[in-house]
Structure 1
Amino acid sequence: MAATAMQANVEWRQNMEFVATVGSGHEVSMDGSKQTAASPMELVLAAAGGCSSVDVVSILEKTRQQVTGVRCEVSGERADATPAVFTKIHLHFIVTGTDVNPTHVERAVKLSADKYCSVAKMLEASVELTHDFRIEPA
Structure 2
Amino acid sequence: MKHKVEMKWLGNLAYKSEMDGHTLITDATVQVGGDGKGVSPKKLMLTALAGCTGIDMALILKKMRVEVEDIKVSVEGELTEEKPSYYKNMHVIYEFFGKELLHQKIERAVKLSEEEYCGVSALYKQVISVTSEIIYHED
TM-score (norm 1): 0.90
2:9 — aligned with what? 12
2:124 — aligned with what? 123
Return the alpha-carbon distance in structure 1 between the equivalents of residues 101 and 63 of structure 2.
13
| 8 Å contact from structure 1 (residues 109, 131) kept in 2 | no
RMSD of equivalent CA atoms: 1.4
Structure 1 segments of 4+ aligned residues over 6 angstroms from their partners: none
Q: Secondary structure in 1 aligned to 2:97?
A: strand
2:76 — aligned with what? 75
TM-score (norm 2): 0.89
1:33 — aligned with what? 29
Matches within 5 A, 1:82-121: 82-121=83-122
What is the letter of the counterpart of residue 131 of structure 2? T
Q: Which runs of 5+ in 2 are unaligned?
A: 31-35
2:133 — aligned with what? 132
Report Cα offsets for 1:91-120 as digits up to 9, x if no partner: 101111222111111111111111100111
2:33 — aligned with what? none
Deviation at 1:36, TM superposition (A): 2.2
Structure with greater strand share of residues:
1
What is the letter of the counterpart of residue 95 of structure 2? I
Q: Percent identity?
A: 26
What is the letter of the counterpart of residue 9 of structure 1? E
Return the alpha-carbon distance in structure 1 between the equivalents of residues 137 and 65 of structure 2.
17
Q: Which runs of 5+ in 1 are unaligned?
A: none
Q: Secondary structure in 2 aligned to 1:40?
A: coil
Return the alpha-carbon distance in structure 2 between the equivalents of residues 44 and 82 of structure 1.
17
Return the alpha-carbon distance in structure 2 between the equivalents of residues 32 and 108 of structure 1.
36
Return the alpha-carbon distance in structure 1 between the equivalents of residues 104 and 12 of structure 2.
48
Report Cα offsets for 1:42-98 as digits up to 9, x if no partner: 111001000001111111111111112111111000111122111110110111122
Return the alpha-carbon distance in structure 1 between the equivalents of residues 63 and 38 of structure 2.
35
| 8 Å contact from structure 1 (residues 16, 33) kept in 2 | no
2:45 — aligned with what? 44
Give the count of matched residue pairs: 134
